Amino acid sequence: MTTVNIRAIVEKAKEKLHCSQEEQELIMRAYEFAKEAHGAQKRTSGDPYINHPLAVALRVADLGLDTASIAAALLHDVCEDTACSIETIEENFSKEIAFLVDGVTKLDKIQFHGTERDAENLRKMLLAVAEDIRVVLIKLMDRTHNMETLKALPPEKQKRIALETLEIYAPLAYRLGIGEIKGYLEDLAFPFVYPKECAWLENQMKDPIEKRRAYVARLIPIVREELEKENMRDTDIHGRAKHLFSLYKKLLKYDMDMNKIFDLIAIRVIVSSVEECYAVLGVIHALWRPMPGLVKDYIALPKPNGYRSIHTTIFGPDGTVTEFQIRTHEMHVEAERGIAAHWSYSEGKTSAAYKQKGVLFANKKQLEWVNQLRDWQKEFRRPEEFLESLKIDFFKNRIFVLTPKGDVIDLPEGATPVDFAYQVHTDIGNQAAGAKINGKMVPLDHGLHNGDVVDIIRQKNKKPNRDWLGFVKTAGARKKIQLTLRQTREHSVFAQKGGQTTELRLTVRDRIGLLKDISRAVADMRINMKSIATETKNRLYPVITVQVPIKNKEALDKLLMRLKNIKGIEEIGYRILS
């Protein structure tokens, strides 16, 4: 692998950021500091350790991130692998750079083994996105270089890191709109996670890919000539081979039949304006007949991660099915660099303008899903439940559907009208009696597709059906259905004469006087305690179990509120015994 030198990083920063002499000197200082701190350290491959932060910093510069990010990339392993502290980084550089280095250092400690502990790790990582996107972008570049050098590690580590890349980092790159990095990470991980499948596919691809390249080379001059007739000369037309792992996932859907893959090599047409995108579509459809149902307008309706483009599949010369992707230069940069493209410098921008635009990422619409996660993750008490739901709701392929008013709702693939209804509003979900998709009645378990217009038919005083739990796909819908069913059941139980015996389970931090305070809270509501017991064996926090007769749901809620206000009570659960 080619070794990166610091001059290449400075030149890339000058090209992308038009950075000042002072900013160039900052990059050089960060390099000298990292080089001295790492000293004679070697990587597992035997290469000097400094090669790694240099490679990461070059990728960060290529993304167009600011000089603070490039400096942080150069310094990102200093605190973890040397005696240097975050405080030393702040003293020598700035609070901002220290913050970024500290963020990456914390993410470096996160490993995913499929255990319950991973839930908390994933929370930390995703909440770091909401705090400052640059931390995760640096981490993604760090992971990319680590994957490029993965062969130097023992086989068991190779498999774990590659699987972690497929399950966490590649989907995260996709959610941030960095399509090229997402595909690259998947292709790097593929041979380590699925070695036999990868070898088979590489062998299968050799002949078809060369034939398709030759075919695309014939089409490009035809398209260019027609566009020039329409006075569209500032165009970039090229073929793009499908990423290997993406192809593998698509083949799994089509019984491994290569003849059903139409975008093995797609033709990309990049033009100057949105108007020209639609003009190109007209030219291509005038040349060749489009395949029905395979014109996708992601300009009018962008994907949830911000991707914009027009895709059309046509019957080309000799009837060969071919996909075209049409976009502007700006859309192409966004597709390649994702959310990083929105905060890159452009000519004439100052560092102050960058910071004003780029630091408060959590308020940006592109990261609504992270802010949604920040609220949603609090609902899960069991870590494994959070982890499984995260993989479904946030790391699965996404679709977008529309409300009758044209608002776009972002859902995981396979979502149903019930998932849609709860995403819009809890009351709409609870009262859902039917659904119309594109004007036609469908059952509530109908699978939604990209671009569907969904209209929920509501029935006043209706409650959710327990059967819905068998087909909803989103964790949010599932939690809301379970909560409403539980509340309905409790109201029905408490309506019986004489009330119900209820068992309260209080997880506590023990202290003197705690039992007395619990007893007083119960007595103040004129409720008798039938029994009280304490569990301490093998527990970090003791659990106090109290059985009390409760007359109605309102009395239960009032008692729970009083108990929650008692110092030392960390968590309260309950169940109705009779």
Cα separation, 61 vs 337, whole angstroms: 12
Give burial (CB, 10 Å; 0-12/13-18/19+) of 461.
exposed
**Coil/strand/helix, residue 168:** helix
**Gap between the terminal Cα atoms of the chain:** 70
Give burial (CB, 10 Å; 0-12/13-18/19+) of 323.
buried
Cα separation, 473 vs 343, whole angstroms: 34
**SS3 sequence of 116-134:** CHHHHHHHHHHHHHHHCHH
Contacts of 28 (CB under 8 A, 6+ apart): 6, 10
Q: Is the dihedral of CA 429, 435, 438, 442 positive or negative?
A: positive
Tokens of 127: 């909440």
Taking 3-state DSSP, the helix, strand and coil percentages for the chain, each rounded to the nearest 5, stand at: 55, 15, 30
Q: Catalytic: which of 15, 36, 80, 207?
A: 80
Name the residue with tokens 């774990």.
160
Q: Catalytic: which of 47, 62, 81, 330?
A: 81
Active site residue 81: yes
Give burial (CB, 10 Å; 0-12/13-18/19+) of 504.
buried
Task: Name the phi and psi angles at 255, rounded to 5.
Answer: 55, 35
Which among 411, 452, 418 has a CA at the least distance from the CA of 433? 418
Give burial (CB, 10 Å; 0-12/13-18/19+) of 517.
middle
Active site residue 330: no
Give burial (CB, 10 Å; 0-12/13-18/19+) of 170.
buried
Active site residues: 80-81
